[in-house]
Amino acid sequence: MTAYIVRRLLATIPVMVVVALFVFLLLHLTPGDPAAVIAGDDASPADIEAIRRKLGLDLAIWQQFVIYVGNLLRGDLGTSIFSNLPVLTLVKQRLEPSLVLAVSTLVLAIALAIPMGVLAAWKARSWIDRVVMGFSVLGFAVPVFLIGYLLIYVFAIELRWLPVQGYRPLAQGIEQTARSILLPAIALSMVYMALIARMTRASMLEVLSEDYIRTAHSKGVATIVVLLRHALKNAAVPIVTVIGIGLTLLISGVVITETVFNIPGLGRLTVDAILKRDYPIIQGLIILFAGAKVLVNLMIDISYVFFDPRIRY
Which chain residues interact with other proteins by CB under 8 A? 30-33, 36-45, 47-48, 50-51, 53-54, 80, 82-85, 90, 93-94, 104, 107-108, 110-112, 114-115, 149, 152-153, 156-157, 160-166, 175, 178-180, 182, 228-229, 232-233, 259-262, 264, 268-269, 271-272, 275-277, 306
Distance CA 174, CA 195 (A): 29
Closest separation between CB of residue 212 and other proteins, Å?
A: 15
Closest separation between CB of residue 182 and other proteins, Å?
A: 6
Q: Which of 290, 289, 300 is nearest to 13 (CA)?
A: 290
Question: Nearer to other proteins by C-beta: 32 or 70?
Answer: 32
Sign of torsion over alpha carbons 34, 40, 42, 43: negative
- Which residues on neighbouring strands pair with residue 138, listed in sequence order? none
Q: Which of 301, 178, 183 is nearest to 245 (CA)?
A: 301
Distance CA 270, CA 280 (A): 11
Closest separation between CB of residue 40 and other proteins, Å?
A: 3
H helical segments located in 159-234: 174-208, 211-218, 223-225, 233-234
Distance CA 126, CA 302 (A): 36
Distance CA 257, CA 68 (A): 31
Query: 3-state class of 143 per DSSP?
Result: coil
Query: 3-state class of 118 per DSSP?
Result: helix
Question: Nearer to other proteins by C-beta: 82 or 289?
Answer: 82
Question: Nearer to other proteins by C-beta: 50 or 69?
Answer: 50
Question: Nearer to other proteins by C-beta: 7 or 233?
Answer: 233
Q: Which of 40, 10, 27, 44 is nearest to 282 (CA)?
A: 27
Question: Nearer to other proteins by C-beta: 63 or 165?
Answer: 165
Long-range contacts of 209-213 (CB under 8 A, 24+ apart): 210/234
Question: Nearer to other proteins by C-beta: 259 or 297?
Answer: 259
The dihedrals phi and psi of 31, each to the nearest 5 degrees, come to: -60, 150
Question: Nearer to other proteins by C-beta: 12 or 276?
Answer: 276
Closest separation between CB of residue 75 and other proteins, Å?
A: 21
Closest separation between CB of residue 5 and other proteins, Å?
A: 16
Closest separation between CB of residue 216 and other proteins, Å?
A: 14
Closest separation between CB of residue 13 and other proteins, Å?
A: 29
